[in-house]
Amino acid sequence: MSIIKSEDSRKWITALTVIASVLAGYVVYKFVGQLGDWFDLETKISSYSMVAQGLGFLTGVGTFIYILKNSETSSYLQEVYNELVKVVWPSKDATVKMTIGIAIALVIVAGIFTAVDFIFKKILEFVY
């Protein structure tokens, strides 16, 4: 059972593009804000926070337009989506069983490491 359907590709690709654009804009906004802190640009430029927000917004919009208008990027995202539709997701029962198995294996390995650490500690106490 897959929650992703092949006829919804445009919607999912656009959503991914929006998320990537918002993330790019946010990173640029935070980076420009950090530059302002490092070089004390807030005191030199009166509306520096507006400049940082504007650069972040322009970066986000530019990223969105670039991704949607670039044919290579659009075709790549379409290919990725087509492969994602083919994925067979595990059922809830299988996921729970695998999670429990991993937790048990983790406890066993942690116990082994603890025992080995304890043994080496006792050996080192005996030697020194």
Q: Are residues 83 and 95 in the same domain?
A: no
Q: Are residues 63 and 113 in the same domain?
A: no
Q: Are residues 22 and 77 in the same domain?
A: yes
pLDDT at site 85? 87
Q: Are residues 80 and 121 in the same domain?
A: no
Residue type at 29 in one-letter notation: Y
Q: Give residue-wise pLDDT tens across range 3-50.
A: 677 778 889 899 999 999 999 999 999 999 999 999 999 888 989 999
Distance between CA 11 and CA 76 in Å, rounded? 15
Q: Are residues 73 and 125 in the same domain?
A: no
pLDDT at site 56? 97
> For the chain, what is the domain count?
2
Q: Are residues 118 and 55 in the same domain?
A: no
pTM of the model: 0.66
pLDDT at site 2? 60
Q: Which domain holds residue 55?
A: 1-88
